[in-house]
Amino acid sequence: MNEALSRNTSRSLRGGVVLALAVGTAFVMPAILAAAAPALTVDVNIAKFAYGPKEITVAPGTKIVWTNHDQTPHTVTSNDKSFASKGLDTDDKFEHTFTSEGDFSYICTVHPYMTGVVHVRKQ
């Protein structure tokens, strides 16, 4: 279900960009359309006991969706406790929307040597 949501969001985002371009060319209220653009969704894969990408920079409001592709369970657990997944079995997903700027490091509590970081920056 999360996967479906994430796919839909990506699709509507692409649609939105195309629409904004088309409408922008026609000089019709581009500002309003831009404001209505859906928040960006970014995927991070968990595979072979690593987050991919391990380090990522996104804009505030971005939703990150982690998907575990391993046969081994992993978690996505921030060091500042601002977000924490349950144990993710194979193909399970976890998502978190980053609203404020900052650097958010996280680990897998099952394998604490697995580390990742999300940099949230206005772009």
Residues 48-87 that bind another protein (CB under 8 A): 48-50, 70-73, 75, 79, 86-87
Instruction: Give the C-alpha separation, 120 to 5, whole Å.
Output: 22
Kindly state the smallest distance separating residue 54's Cβ from another protein, in Å: 12
Instruction: Give the C-alpha separation, 65 to 8, whole Å.
Output: 13
Cβ proximity of 106 and 79 under 8 Å: yes
Torsion of CA 48, 71, 74, 112, to 10 degrees: -50
| CA-wise closest residue to 1 among 82, 84, 65, 97 | 65
Nearer to another protein, 39 or 110 (CB): 110
Helix (H) or strand (E) holding 24: helix 2-25
Nearer to another protein, 41 or 114 (CB): 114
Point out which span in 20-28, 42-50, 52-60, 95-103 binds another protein (CB under 8 A).
42-50
Nearer to another protein, 7 or 86 (CB): 86
Q: Does residue 119 belong to the site contacting another protein (CB under 8 A)?
A: no
Instruction: Give the C-alpha separation, 103 to 105, whole Å.
Output: 6
Residues 86-115 that bind another protein (CB under 8 A): 86-87, 89-90, 105, 107, 109-113, 115
- The residues that touch another protein, with contacts defined as CB under 8 A, are 48-50, 70-73, 75, 79, 86-87, 89-90, 105, 107, 109-113, 115
